[in-house]
Amino acid sequence: MNLEGLEMIAVLIVIVLFVKILEQFGLIEAGLEDSVEDELEMATVRHRPEALELLEAQSKFTKKELQILYRGFKNECPSGVVNEDTFKEIYSQFFPQGDSTTYAHFLFNAFDTDHNGAVSFEDFIKGLSILLRGTVQEKLNWAFNLYDINKDGYITKEEMLDIMKAIYDMMGKCTYPVLKEDAPRQHVETFFQKMDKNKDGVVTIDEFIESCQKDENIMRSMQLFENVI
């Protein structure tokens, strides 16, 4: 896998892995389709109707889909929240040959929007709605937020290097041909040559979105994950 391939993974890996999480929850197999069994199981799901209606308005999921997602969420997370250790455990299952700890940490922080150390069902749904049903612009906004580690509105070379090292640690050693140890730093330089339009040493959200939208590989890959569920 060359640097271009790693760049595409850097933008899309969140979506791919969330599909894996849905499989883990058994939600893709369920397909969110109508069935008598689903209706019976939904009758046992407890929720606050006001909160459910609010989530329906704030997301791209129907009320029934939210009920089924909640059932799966509660089955996997009886406490009602996901902590960082759970995130790390999930990702380690998909990359047993690598170290996904750091990437899972960055991803957890992107979902933990109120920074309280836990991802609630509401946090989960809002992120999932963007990743699976959002527009290209919404998905790229979410990806930018992931890479903007300190949330100052810019991606620096140091932040992108941290992300690239995390991705490399998670899956780089499993690629063929094996990437060189300096591949993450080379990627950062390539990234900034393409995206830092005014050469000021940082990438803004406008620069990030414009560059991604001009990349046919990224756009084509994003389309593959539209309406997964």
**Confidence band, pLDDT 50/70/90 cuts, at residue 114:** confident
Q: What is the mean pLDDT of residues 87-110?
A: 85
Residue indicated by tokens 């539209």: 226
Beta bridge partners of 155: 203
What pLDDT is recorded for position 199?
Answer: 93
The 10s digit of each residue's pLDDT in 173-201 is 555 455 667 778 888 898 898 899 999 99
What pLDDT is recorded for position 175?
Answer: 57
What pLDDT is recorded for position 78?
Answer: 79
Whether the pLDDT of residue 95 is over 50: the answer is yes
What pLDDT is recorded for position 8?
Answer: 45
**Confidence band, pLDDT 50/70/90 cuts, at residue 65:** confident
Beta bridge partners of 156: 202
The 10s digit of each residue's pLDDT in 67-82 is 888 887 777 777 888 8
Which pTM was predicted?
0.74
Residue with the bigger pLDDT between 102 and 97: it is 102
**Confidence band, pLDDT 50/70/90 cuts, at residue 19:** low
The 10s digit of each residue's pLDDT in 30-52 is 444 444 344 434 444 444 545 77
Amino acid at 38: D
The 10s digit of each residue's pLDDT in 198-227 is 999 999 999 999 988 888 777 766 665 554
On average, the pLDDT of the chain sits at 76
What string of DSSP letters covers the chain? --HHHHHHHHHHHHHHHHHHHHHHHTHHHHTT---HHHHHHHTT----HHHHHHHHHHSS--HHHHHHHHHHHHHH-TTSEE-HHHHHHHHHHH-TTS--HHHHHHHHHHH-TT-SS-EEHHHHHHHHHHHHHS-HHHHHHHHHHHH-TT-SSEEEHHHHHHHHHHHHHHHGGGSSSPPPTTHHHHHHHHHHHHH-TT-SSEEEHHHHHHHHHT-HHHHHHHHHTTT--
Residue with the bigger pLDDT between 222 and 26: it is 222
Q: Which residues contact 178 (CB under 8 A, 6 or more apart)?
A: 172
Q: What is the mean pLDDT of residues 83-98?
A: 82
